[in-house]
Amino acid sequence: MNIQQMAQSSQVISSPLGSQISVTNVSKIYGAGDFAKEVVRDCSFTLDRGKLTVMIGPSGCGKSTLIRMLAGFERPSSGAITLDGKAVSRPGLDRLVVFQESALFPWMSTYDNIMFGPRARGEDTPEMRAYAEELLHKVGLDGFRKKYPAQLSGGMQRRAELARSMINKPAVMILDEPFRGLDAMTKKLMQEYYSNLYEEFRRTTFFVTTDIDEAIYLADRILIMTNIPTQVRAVINVDLPRPRHVEDITENDDANAIKMRALSLLHEEAMKSFARGSKAAADFVDAYAKRINKE
């Protein structure tokens, strides 16, 4: 069964569009005095309800710091973050983060990992168990429900983590480079899986990546971030029809125009970092130059 058939084979699970998050003039400084380091400076943006917003910027610019503040793990040094008008001051079930590294419990089966949240809340009900089975089907892990994480491939682990996140029905999904480190084919499949899940559930999503092609394929809107201390350099709307297919995106003139604009902005920010001796920026500048020379 291919991905499209899988998405269409089961009934649609209704879910709310999620919430809206507003980030207003947020700054974050670590340390004090001579040891102070400003990571985020006067940063403002909005995660629109039911939309998929992708953030992309130079490595080490402060994207993960913003994620921790959106999740409520850390507080801004100044400025405000609100969820539907209410201040975000601590972690909550309304926001759920999928990190780069696997967070599956190694002693639990795939099914038990997915059911961990509901069970922890005392919601091990027939309805929730049926929901878990539905999500297992949607992420293509029906036959692996009794397997342990060590018995799953990297892509399967990522799918299990997505299902474990979605069963909690968060108002906002926050993903921090969730497909980083996967091989090219597995990464493409995971992008397609997540695109289908998003198009069905339409939950407010904040997706951080360093992959421009991934950003364009998934996003309704892209936030281009500056070098550290980070803030929004530009906002690019991705007005491409859904559902999307990777092959269609690569051959789309509008998508290619978005890509060139994003690359140009990121190149400028990487050059600033390169001037300060950043190895990550030097790698980006080299890769960008090779791409431009090919085109």
Strand-pairing partners, residue 133, are none
Task: Tell me the residue type at 49.
Answer: R
What is the arithmetic mean of pLDDT over 1-8?
36
Domain count, the chain: 1
Judge whether 54 lies within some domain: yes
Is residue 266, in this structure, part of any structural domain at all? Answer: yes
C-alpha–C-alpha distance, residues 93 and 258, integer Å? 34
Domain that holds residue 21: 17-94+174-294
State pLDDT tens for residues 156-196: 998 999 899 889 989 999 999 988 888 888 888 888 888 98
Percent of the chain with pLDDT over 70: 87
Q: How many CB atoms lie within 10 A of CB 109?
A: 18
Size (the chain), residues: 295
How much is the pLDDT for 276? Answer: 62
Q: If we measure between CA atoms, which residue out of 198, 201, 180 comes closest to residue 238? A: 198
Query: Residue 95's pLDDT band (boundaries 50, 70, 90)?
Result: very high
Domain-located, residue 214: yes
Does residue 8 lie in a domain region?
no
Task: Give domain status of residue 84, yes or no.
Answer: yes
Let me know if residue 59 belongs to a domain. Answer: yes
156, 141 Cβ separation under 8 angstroms: yes
Structural domain includes residue 135: no
Is residue 162, in this structure, part of any structural domain at all? no
For residue 183, what is the domain's CATH number? 3.40.50.300
Residue 60 confidence class, pLDDT cut points 50, 70, 90: confident
Q: Residue 8: pLDDT band by 50, 70, 90 thresholds?
A: very low
